[in-house]
Amino acid sequence: MRPEAPPAPSSPEKLQAGLLDLVQWLSPAFPLGAFAYSHGLEWAIDAGEVRDGETLRLWLEAALTSGAGRNDAILAFHALRGHPPPAELAEIAEAMAPARERLEEMRAQGAAFCRTVAALTGRDLAPAPLPVSLGVAARALGLDEATIVTQMLQAFCSNLVAAGVRFVPLGQTEGQRVLRALHPTILRVCAQARTAPLSALGGAFLRGDMAAMHHETQTTRIFRT
């Protein structure tokens, strides 16, 4: 199957409209239930491995460069290009989940995203893990691929920084310092993922994977993952 042709150049007005849609989809107000997921961070905080702004930054940097962030970026780029088909990409994404809760997280958020976008636009989107669903839906926005993927990674980090602000706890300004410090990493991961084949998928953030597994049996839990 040949990749889809790139979309025709968009007018400034269409680009602005597309950017508004993307920002809405990735907003904390969009009903994905993202606030209920900590990606294993809750266990890391409880265990004392994440205890201040610097340890939170290091944890999220590892998640971006060696964990789900990098994989999500690669999957999103391929979904944006329509090759391989979304159903195949969804299977690959689910196969990459290192723990039951992580699989639940990607499925639930992806399904919620598809339901809400379908309700807003009338588009019929088959449920798939979030980076795949976002990539498929965002093809019509007329935006540069890197813009879409960097904003997706920013939203991923923002959700986890918000969890850290509440439960480390950190001050709001310190949380924003952490997020700002991750911007160069987000840009680097996006640039590397843009040309990465699916064979580059994988992970080396073993502590993050173990955190997800430990969280499944954690006695007191606020977050679902």
Alpha-carbon distance values, 84 to 54, 78, 129, 136, 156 (Å): 39, 7, 15, 11, 24
The set of residues, in sequence order, having a beta carbon less than 8 Å from that of 142 and lying 6+ positions away, is 7, 10, 14, 15, 18
Q: Report percent pLDDT > 70 for the chain.
A: 96
> What confidence tens digit (pLDDT) does each residue in 144-164 have?
999 999 999 999 999 999 999
CB 168 within 8 A of CB 55: no
CA separation for the pair 208, 129 (Å, rounded): 19
Name the residue among 202, 151, 183, 162 with its Cα closest to residue 42: 162
Higher-confidence residue of 132 and 33: namely 132
Confidence class for position 220, pLDDT limits 50, 70, 90: confident
Domain definitions of the chain by residue range: 38-215
Confidence class for position 9, pLDDT limits 50, 70, 90: low
Higher-confidence residue of 12 and 80: namely 80
pLDDT at 2 over 60: no
Superfamily of domain 38-215: Urease accessory protein UreF (1.10.4190.10)
Neighbours of 67 (CB within 10 A): 26
Alpha-carbon distance values, 160 to 39, 127, 197 (Å): 8, 23, 27
Q: Report percent pLDDT > 90 for the chain.
A: 84
Query: What mean pLDDT do residues 38-54 have?
Result: 95
CA angle 151, 154, 156 (to 5 degrees): 115
> What confidence tens digit (pLDDT) does each residue in 80-102 have?
999 999 999 999 999 999 999 89
